Every structure is written in structure tokens, then in C-alpha cells.
Amino acid sequence: VELTLTCKLKEAEKIHKIKHIILVASGKGGVGKSTTAVNLAASLKCEGAKVGILDADIYGPSIPILLGLEGEKPQAKDEKTMLPFEKEGIKSQSIGFLVPAESAMVWRGPMASGALTQLLNETDWGELDYLIVDMPPGTGDIQLTMSQKVPASGAIIVTTPQDLALADAQKGIAMFEKVKVPILGLIENMSHFICGHCDQTSHVFGQGGGKVMAHRYGIPLLAEIPLQLAIREYGEQGKMIADEPSLNISEFYRKAARLVASQ
Ligand code: ADP
Ligand code: MG
């Protein structure tokens, strides 16, 4: 019993230097969780915080690509501890570093959540102000594990203004409320499109859904991030838009990060 206890204490030690664990979640896939998670992390870093990212999307990890770390393998610190990657001042860990990109994860829920808690606990994160967790879509086993077994400070819900995405985001909010993880705010991604030639704004996926929802649940609307080619391109090139203050778009993420940091 003592041995198990010591092990548990050791594990807790590795994450006890993390001040805030923030889950970035959504009900639906493809709404821009990973892109948002990475840019929020970069923005918090620009505000002076020590930041890490944990890719919890066991079935579709995209953090290695978004950080330009594809194909890298983490180094072991000792038999039970891995070192996170550090790039542009952001530490990261992902299941994507440990399994080949083309192999599909065919794990059942409990195995996937086990792998994830291990990834969190067996990484030597060091001192962090924020660990941003890029969650998989949905409200299944992994979400429950991360909400109940991990001392999360709060969750950020990402949605598009589309009715379908909003309905799923609502399920996400309900789940976090049930497990008593505070919702720090809502981010409406792909909110609108500003035409570079004609300066006209179009609402590709609908308009105002995020605002209505934030109001309904009494949660802050942290940002309405436009649909912009640069956001996708930067992601594909493994660069963070929030690191480029010259791009207007970076201010959307910076503002959201400041709102999160002020809570
Ligand atoms: P999720 O993690 O929710 O599945 P991703 O972050 O992988 O979503 O985003 C899905 C796709 O949409 C990616 O190709 C990404 O580059 C693109 N994307 C995300 N947000 C935006 C945006 N605001 N403007 C343009 N493309 C975006
Ligand atoms: Mg993702």
C-alpha cells in the first residue's frame, strides 16, 4: 500500500507545479479547438505566463502538426518520466509523439483515458502557470476522466455559429456543469469572414449564435474569431498566429487570453 501511495504522490508531484489546468473543449469536431488551444497558449505566453499544451485528442492528435513538431519523439528523463517538447517557449506533450501518425487508435474508452492520464502525470512539466488541454470532441469517457480525475481550473468551449455546433456545445456545457468544472467562457470560431478585397463581412455559418448562448448560460463570450485563410495556413506550417502581433487577427486570441487570465 505504501509503495502505491508513494507512486501516487510522485505522480502528483509532477503536476503540482502547474497552477491552472484549462480544458479546451467542444461538442463537435472540426470547429477549431486545436487551433484555438495553440493560439490561446501562445497568447498566454506573450502575456508573460509559463505555458504548456497537452494534446488529449487521443484519436486525432493535431498538436504535433500545429507546433511543427511532426515526427519528433519525446525524450525519457528516467524510467517513468518523459520530457515535454519545448518550442517557442511552449511545452507540449501528445499521444501523437508516441504512435505513428498513420496508425489509428482503436482503444476503448477506459484504455484511452488511462493513456491520457499517464501522459499528463508522467511528463515532467516543471513549473507552469497554465496547462492548456486540447480535448477530443464529444462528452465521452475521456472528457469525464479529465473532468473528474484531473484538477482542472476550468473549461473553455469552442463552437462555430452553426446550429449543429451550438447544439453540441450546449451538451459540453451541460457535462462540465454536471462534473462541476467551471466554464471560463465560450469562443465562437469561424464567426464571420471579412473579404480582403471588398471589406464586406459575411456570416458563413450563421450569426450571433455564440452571443445568444453565452448570454443564456451566463458565461463570458471570450472571442468571435473570424474565418481567415492565415489561421489555417499558419496552423499547417506549425506556426502560431498569436505570436505575430503584426497580424490583426492575433489580437482576437490575445484578448481571449487576457480574459481567461483575469478570472
Ligand atoms: P478541431 O480541433 O476542433 O477538430 P481544428 O483546430 O483542427 O479543429 O480546425 C479544423 C480546421 O479548420 C483546420 O484545418 C484549421 O486550420 C481550420 N481552422 C480552424 N479555425 C479557423 C479559422 N478561424 N479560420 C480558418 N481556418 C480555421
Ligand atoms: Mg483537434
* pLDDT tens string 119-147: 999 999 999 999 999 999 888 888 888 88
Say what the ipTM of the complex is: 0.99
Q: Of 92, 140, 142, nearest to 115 (Cα)? A: 142
Which residue owns the Cα nearest ligand 1 atom 22? 227
- The ligand placed nearest to the CA atom of residue 165 is 1
**Closest to 132 in 3D by CA, of 31, 214, 248, 49:** 49
pLDDT value of residue 2: 47
Distances (CA, A) of 114 to 145, 150, 178, 199: 9, 12, 22, 49
Q: Which of 23, 33, 35 to mutate to test the pocket of ligand 1 (most atoms within 8 A of CB)?
A: 35
**Angstrom distances, CA of residue 28 to CA of 32, 119, 143, 263:** 10, 24, 13, 26
Nearest ligand to the CA of 161 is 1
C-alpha cell at 87: 518550442
Protein residue closest via CA to atom 9 of ligand 1: 32
Nine-digit cell string for 72: 519528433
- Residues present in the chain in total: 263
What sign does the dihedral 22-27-31-34 (CA atoms) show? positive
**Most informative mutation of 205, 232, 247, 252 for ligand 1 (most atoms within 8 A of CB):** 232
User: pLDDT at residue 5 above 90?
Assistant: no
Average pLDDT over residues 189-216: 86
More confident residue, 146 or 159: 159
The rounded Å distance from CA 93 to ligand 2 centre is: 14
Q: What pLDDT score was predicted for residue 147?
A: 86
* Residues contacting ligand 1 via CB (< 6 Å): 26, 29-35, 62, 189-190, 225, 227-228, 231-232, 235
In 135-219, the DSSP E strands lie at 154-159, 183-189, 193-194, 201-202
Ligand 1 center from residue 25 Cα (angstroms): 13
Strand order in the sheet with 183-189: 85-87, 90-94, 51-55, 128-134, 18-25, 154-159, 183-189, 221-225
User: Counting ligands in written order, which one lies closest to the CA of residue 32?
Assistant: 1
Pick from 27, 90, 26, 28: nearest CA to 63: 90
CA of 29 to the centre of ligand 1 (A): 10
**Of 57, 223, 198, nearest in space to 132 by CA:** 57
Q: Which residues pair with 78 in a beta bridge?
A: 81
Are 225 and 187 in contact by the 8 Å Cβ rule? The answer is yes
- In this model, does residue 12 exceed pLDDT 60? no
- pLDDT tens digit sequence for 73-109: 889 899 889 999 999 999 999 988 987 766 666 677 7
What 3-state class would DSSP assign to 172? helix
